[in-house]
Amino acid sequence: MESLRLVGTFLRIGVQTELQYRSNVVFSVLQSLVAVGTSLAVLALVFSHTDSLGGWSGDELLVVMGVYVLMGGVLRSVVQPAMNQLMDDVQHGTLDFVLTKPADSMLLVSIRRIELWQSVDVLVGAGIVGFALSRLDTRPGLLAVLGFVVALALGVVVLWAFWLLLTTAAFWVVRTDSLVELLSGMYQAGRWPVTIYPGWLRIGFTFLVPLAFAITVPAQALTGRLSVWLLLGAAAFTVGLVALTRWVWSVGLRAYSGASA
């Protein structure tokens, strides 16, 4: 409860800060339009040759793309800014201020900076999902939508935990920018459902770079591909990943404070 209040306060101040830079919204919208336009063109090109890709129809893949854009918005507006701030703090020694605060340090580093205007993509992605759903033959029922919401929430947690896990490397390697760059590149693979990738890549995108749980699973919920077991599996994976991140974080802190030396 206290944690929620803390998150709420940081979110409110973060939004206030961003409202000072209203002109950024123009840039974000343009950026979003270009990215979405390119993706749509590729999708149209692929489906001018074929009716389905790995069992997914064009409109179903549009759902995947919508979730991909939406999650990308979450990543760039909430997750990445906080992680960049964390890397900065490790480099400049200002993490000391976070660690001398009577609050959960892992939570605190995750909520200190947002980039509101990047969340334009969340709306654009939701729009694409809505549009794609209107073209599907079988509309998802209430249960499927519920499954989608749960899978989406789990996906956000997975992305956050995974990015934090990698950023924690900053405790040992001071410059992790290139690592994060690499991952942002890999995130692009998420525009396609992981099921269309060959075996080894699919496993990699599921467990190493968990795009499957962040993007494919929510999309599966809306396209009648989600079983209760898959959702439970996603939940179990999320819990496991958060636990792992927490553990690595505490090990990182010990290294930072010299407790292990």
Q: Is 207 in the site for other proteins (CB under 8 A)?
A: no
Closest approach, Cβ 15 to other proteins, in A, equals 11
Residue of the chain from 6, 29, 126, 189 that contacts other proteins (CB under 8 A): 6
Closest approach, Cβ 181 to other proteins, in A, equals 23
CB 212 within 8 A of CB 64: no
Selected range binding other proteins among 9-17, 148-156, 182-190, 217-225, rule: CB under 8 A: 9-17
Closest approach, Cβ 110 to other proteins, in A, equals 14
Tell me the DSSP string of 24-91. Answer: HHHHHHHHHHHHHHHHHHHHHHHHTT-SEETTEEHHHHHHHHHHHHHHHHHIIIIIHHHHHHHHHHHH
Buried b (16+ CB within 10 A) or exposed e, 74-94: bbbbbbbbbbebbbebbeeee
Burial of 238 (0-12, 13-18, 19+ CB in 10 A): buried
Map 209-228 to HEC letters.
CCHHHHHHHHHHHHCCCCCH
Closest approach, Cβ 24 to other proteins, in A, equals 12
Selected range binding other proteins among 16-24, 129-137, 172-180, 187-195, rule: CB under 8 A: 16-24
CB nearer to other proteins: give 49 or 92.
92
State which of positions 64-123 bind other proteins (CB under 8 A): 92-94, 96-97, 99-103, 108, 112
Number of residues that bind other proteins (CB under 8 A): 26
Under the rule (CB under 8 A), what is the footprint of other proteins?
A: 2, 5-6, 9-10, 13, 16-17, 20, 92-94, 96-97, 99-103, 108, 112, 254, 257-259, 261
